Structure 1
Amino acid sequence: MIAVVAPRYGGSEVLRVEVAPLPVPGEREVMVRVRAASLCSGDLHLLNGTPYLLRLGFGLRRPKRPGIGQNLAGHVVAVGAQVTEFQVGDRVFGEIPGGAFAEYACAAVGALALVPDGLGMEEAAAIPDSGMTALQGLRDIGKVEPGQRVLINGASGGVGSFAVQIAKLLGAHVTAVCSTRHLEMVRGIGADVVIDYTADDFTRTDAPYDVVFDLAGNRSLREIRRALAPDGVFVSSAAAPGDHWFGPIRWLAAVALTDLFTRPTMKSLLMRPSATDLAHLADLAADGRLRPVLERQVPLIETPSAIAVFAQGHAAGKTVLTVAG
């Protein structure tokens, strides 16, 4: 099969498109013929090997597993001996530890859900990491309720574009913060108010927010608290700022410490993969209530150049890799 591999840590320049052996599913795994895959920030961390603390589990000097990519959608072509949840021919999607940027990949059954009728493979592949992060951040941590004022900081990216729509589905009044060039896109997915962060400061407001979902990590906790209602909730994504050694650990510790001494609730989010959440998001997308925003679609063999663009930031939705039949 054709696969994109990273034999060493680095940027997009270390990636290779190679002929690799087919993976073999374990007893509780299925092998998927990949039709589409999407990029996420986790791919960059695993590619770069940063924060360096991450290398304790993934390889000190070089990756233990050279295959990269975590979000995929495709058809089941083989099942492990103890698999009863899926059968050959099923359309599935989900998140795996690595190896999604290939013609075939293996996945644990608990990491997958069925792709419902009415949802394309490209749209399904865009959902897993970003969709579950947005859903769990707003529903589970933020506990968004109808009528609340919710602000999404970093609303145009992969997670942000899902968060705007999910907050609306939960009944909130949504204010979205993004750059000038993405204002119309964010309005188009349902934001009630859009703030251009290059021109306005969302932390200075006369009408504080019930929930602030921060995906950018570009404002201090003091500034964030200024934008929150006294009984509001701040939700910080795991993509918070950090250094090359420890990543966001210091930031997450600061959020937890601040929560102990302030009235607004300050929480960090670490998304937990859930087949139930995947199925829920897929149903929302299949019936048109949730629309994955696809910024670009490129062939699998162009993955290195796609990752180079993705690494520059300023995304408007998701980048999807398509795999030929």
Structure 2
Amino acid sequence: MAVILLKLIFSIITTFSNVITWLIFTGTAKVLVQAIQVLKVPGEGGQRVLEQVRNVTKTCLDYLMELIIAAISTLFSSLFDLLKEGVLNSSSGLVAALTGLVEILKTSLSNVVEDIPKVLDVFIEMVGKIVGDFLNNCNDAIGYVRENVLTIILLNMAGKKLMQAFVYGRSVGGVVGLKHVEIPVPSPSKGEVLIKLEATSLNPLDYKAYMLKVLLRPFLARNFPLIPATDVAGEVVEVGYGVKNFKPGDKVVAILSLLVGGGLSEYGIAKEILTVSRPPQVSLAEAAGLPIAGITAHMALTQFAHLKLDKTGPHKNILITNASGGVGHYAVQLAKLGNAHVTATCGARNLNLVKNLGADEVLDYKTSEGATLKSPSGKKYDAVVHCGPPIAWSVFEPNLSEDGMVIDLTPGPSSMWTFLVKKITFSKKKLLPLIWYPKGSNHQTLEHLVELVKDGKLKTIIDSKCPLSEAGEAWGKSIDGHATGKIIHVEIPVPSPSKGEVLIKLEATSLNPLDYKAYMLIVFLRPFLARNFPLIPATDVAGEVVEVGYGVKNFKPGDKVVAILSLLVGGGLSEYGIAKEILMVSRPPQVSPVEAAGLPIAGITAHMALIQSAHLKLDKTGPHKNILITNASEGVGHCAVQLAKLGNAHVTATCGARNLNLVKNLGMDEVIDYKTQRSDSQEPLR
């Protein structure tokens, strides 16, 4: 009895909370959009108003979320206070009814004890429903506002001058590539400057900014652009309200917004506090290479290792790993400006380069001496500026002085764990992760670096130069070996099959959304994988067996097969791939390689959904079922359509207008264009 009453109460609470949150979020979203439309006026003043409103929209909604949480909490408190008052005061019919309800609950106490697990399940279900409704209403409101604001902003920008740019991201140009597009030239807001870009440098941080965008995608406008690169040099062409230190025509170096970027375009927006003047003695290329890499090296040495660059501080022994890279080559030069003995590691082809930068000792990291990081002169390091991939603490520790430190510029989970352990145990030897975001306090550091270049005390090593039209190739080169971000055609050794595996010469490969999810998994697991751990996209293949591993019994060279390759390693976009015997089947000659390659992931997913989840019998021996298949023209969908018709099912499908006939020809009973809005009385396309 108690469980039934609680279900009734919880149902009322859940419904009430859903209605309240929906009303508040929907009402607020529509009011905000209307306000933006009212405020939309021509001219730069109106544009600034629009941008300010756009920026505060999500802040307002976040604040409303806090208010709703407080309101729901108050609702629960008030409900139970009401029940309590009902027991103490029975002067009205309503109170009497509530008192009766309490009495029923009291008399059912013994049963409640037995029903505690059920009560908890009901309560958890209620909380889950409230939270789910709350988040759905919040997301709907945010989506409504951001889509409408984006439309208004784009309309306001209509007629503006266009610029060339390379945009990176899922919304344009694919997941792992760049697309050359034309977009409106942006306008500077308060405290910002518009720069005509003359030089841009690329950093691994640019790719991490893209990964940040992937994480934040639910909170960003659907077509929110990301133009890679943040380190730029150029000429100011326009200044926003409140800018005092720059005017059109000034030559500058700047750091653009990390989230939005802008470097691979003709114009970029920078905050005044992240912009410094470029003297004529500093070339465009030298200047553009400085910001992120130079500031990172400067922070590591001065703020973490406490090195005085004017040689007034104590002598220090410093190790710099990956010293020929962007941060590393600046760190070597800056460390030598201080009172430091510098040991550096790099690849064999860059040994002379790093030596010429001023390093006292240079180690090839691929040799046994370089792998152990031991100083040839036997010195212990007071500080290690680690610019490369993860290295175990056990390698660093024997080489550190009594109170030495490792400053990790690429910290992963293992580094964060070591940092925590050393902190808790008050160890003299420690690891410090360096994680920073460009802010106003970096202004003076960037000015100092520009002065050092001007005075000839610091130089930028330029790997290569290219025009904007070749930015795609430069982007791929920048992230190669640091993070997978662009598919590059390379030659690699043909793999060999291990026990229970088969080597297949691939004749056809199909692509699935799951391939991108595998890529995202690799990004997450990268700190735990070998530095050059490969990912060759695609898993669904058809081809011919050329070699079998030990223990393989069902296949031999020459067999035609269909297979699923390893989801983690992939291999489909290559000439040869490795598959486990248990994930392979023979391909009869009646099935073409193309037909076969399209089957594995999509076909199995559709089959599982219908057989294991919907319990449909494909031999028509089961009960009749009515089944809806959405997105029926896509990979899984079109397989599901045909499989469902093999069973005893009436199938309705949705797809885009251009695929209606295609899906109908697959055997559909009813096909609906998902973009149309129909009432229940309207007949579907038959």
Q: TM-score range by the shorter chain?
A: 0.7 to 0.9
Q: In structure 2, what is the Cα distance between the partners aligned to 1:303 and 1:289? A: 30
- Match for residue 121 of structure 1 among 265, 269, 284: 284
Say if 1:266 and 1:15 are closer, same or farther in 2 by CA, change over 3 A: same
Q: How do residues 144-293 of structure 1 correspond to structure 2 at under 5 angstroms?
A: 144=307, 145-199=313-367, 200=369, 201-205=371-375, 206-237=378-409, 239-240=410-411, 248-249=412-413, 251-261=415-425, 262-273=427-438, 274-293=442-461
* SS, match of residue 130 in structure 1: helix
Q: In structure 1, what is the Cα distance between the partners aligned to 2:325 and 2:234? A: 24
Offset of residue 117 of structure 1: 2.9
Offset of residue 253 of structure 1: 3.8
Offset of residue 186 of structure 1: 0.5
Which structure shows the higher strand fraction?
1
Offset of residue 12 of structure 1: 8.6
Is 2:55 the partner of 1:55? no
Flag the structure with more relative contact order, 1 or 2, with Cα contacts below 8 A and sequence separation at least 6: 1
Q: In structure 2, what is the Cα distance between the partners aligned to 1:55 and 1:251? A: 24
Does the aligned pair in 2 maintain the 1:256–1:267 contact within 8 Å?
Answer: no
Does the aligned pair in 2 maintain the 1:71–1:96 contact within 8 Å?
Answer: yes
What's the TM-score, normalizing by structure 2?
Answer: 0.42
Does the aligned pair in 2 maintain the 1:2–1:102 contact within 8 Å?
Answer: yes
Does the aligned pair in 2 maintain the 1:93–1:114 contact within 8 Å?
Answer: yes
Say if 1:276 and 1:3 are closer, same or farther in 2 by CA, change over 3 A: same
Which structure shows the higher helix fraction?
2
Does the aligned pair in 2 maintain the 1:166–1:290 contact within 8 Å?
Answer: yes
Offset of residue 64 of structure 1: 2.8
The amino acid of 1:234's aligned partner reads V
Does the aligned pair in 2 maintain the 1:149–1:172 contact within 8 Å?
Answer: yes
Q: In structure 2, what is the Cα distance between the partners aligned to 1:58 and 1:164? A: 38
Does the aligned pair in 2 maintain the 1:154–1:176 contact within 8 Å?
Answer: yes
Say if 1:116 and 1:272 are closer, same or farther in 2 by CA, change over 3 A: farther
Is 2:133 the partner of 1:3? no
The amino acid of 1:158's aligned partner reads G
Q: In structure 1, what is the Cα distance between the partners aligned to 2:223 and 2:390? A: 30
Structure 2 residue runs without a partner (length 5+): 1-162, 308-312, 483-686
The residue aligned with 2:263 is 100
- Match for residue 67 of structure 1 among 224, 227, 234: 227
Say if 1:7 and 1:265 are closer, same or farther in 2 by CA, change over 3 A: closer
Does the aligned pair in 2 maintain the 1:12–1:307 contact within 8 Å?
Answer: no
The residue aligned with 1:245 is none
Deviates more, 1:264-273 or 1:170-179: 264-273
Deviates more, 1:136-145 or 1:201-210: 201-210
* SS, match of residue 254 in structure 1: helix
Structure with higher Rg: it is 2
* SS, match of residue 460 in structure 2: coil
* SS, match of residue 415 in structure 2: helix
Q: In structure 2, what is the Cα distance between the partners aligned to 1:151 and 1:139? A: 14
Q: In structure 1, what is the Cα distance between the partners aligned to 2:275 and 2:379? A: 41
* SS, match of residue 81 in structure 1: coil
Offset of residue 225 of structure 1: 1.3
Does the aligned pair in 2 maintain the 1:132–1:271 contact within 8 Å?
Answer: no
Offset of residue 59 of structure 1: 5.3
Does the aligned pair in 2 maintain the 1:39–1:69 contact within 8 Å?
Answer: yes
The amino acid of 2:436's aligned partner reads M
Deviates more, 1:249-258 or 1:267-276: 249-258
Offset of residue 231 of structure 1: 1.3
The residue aligned with 1:25 is 188
Say if 1:185 and 1:146 are closer, same or farther in 2 by CA, change over 3 A: farther
Does the aligned pair in 2 maintain the 1:13–1:304 contact within 8 Å?
Answer: no
Does the aligned pair in 2 maintain the 1:93–1:112 contact within 8 Å?
Answer: yes
* SS, match of residue 296 in structure 2: helix
Is 2:185 the partner of 1:15? no
Does the aligned pair in 2 maintain the 1:71–1:95 contact within 8 Å?
Answer: yes
What are the Cα deviations for residues 40-85 of structure 1, in whole angstroms up to 9, with x where unaligned? 01112234x26xxx63435579773332211111010000021112
| Structural RMSD (CA) | 2.2
The residue aligned with 2:200 is 37
Deviates more, 1:5-14 or 1:168-177: 5-14
Q: In structure 1, what is the Cα distance between the partners aligned to 2:430 and 2:390? A: 19
* SS, match of residue 473 in structure 2: helix
Does the aligned pair in 1 maintain the 2:419–2:430 contact within 8 Å?
Answer: no
What's the TM-score, normalizing by structure 1?
Answer: 0.87
The amino acid of 1:141's aligned partner reads F
Say if 1:204 and 1:189 are closer, same or farther in 2 by CA, change over 3 A: closer
Does the aligned pair in 1 maintain the 2:169–2:175 contact within 8 Å?
Answer: no
Say if 1:169 and 1:105 are closer, same or farther in 2 by CA, change over 3 A: same
The residue aligned with 2:612 is none
Say if 1:208 and 1:45 are closer, same or farther in 2 by CA, change over 3 A: same
Say if 1:115 and 1:12 are closer, same or farther in 2 by CA, change over 3 A: farther
Say if 1:278 and 1:213 are closer, same or farther in 2 by CA, change over 3 A: same
The amino acid of 2:432's aligned partner reads K
Does the aligned pair in 2 maintain the 1:58–1:65 contact within 8 Å?
Answer: no
The residue aligned with 1:81 is 241
Offset of residue 272 of structure 1: 4.4
* SS, match of residue 187 in structure 2: coil
Q: In structure 2, what is the Cα distance between the partners aligned to 1:117 and 1:287? A: 12
Does the aligned pair in 1 maintain the 2:415–2:433 contact within 8 Å?
Answer: no
Q: In structure 2, what is the Cα distance between the partners aligned to 1:56 and 1:12? A: 14
The residue aligned with 1:243 is none
Does the aligned pair in 1 maintain the 2:197–2:266 contact within 8 Å?
Answer: yes
Over the matched positions of the two proteins, sequence identity in percent amounts to 31
The amino acid of 2:246's aligned partner reads F
* SS, match of residue 184 in structure 2: coil
Does the aligned pair in 1 maintain the 2:418–2:431 contact within 8 Å?
Answer: no
Q: In structure 2, what is the Cα distance between the partners aligned to 1:23 and 1:270? A: 29
The residue aligned with 1:141 is 304
Offset of residue 171 of structure 1: 2.0
Q: In structure 1, what is the Cα distance between the partners aligned to 2:373 and 2:295? A: 26
The residue aligned with 1:303 is 471
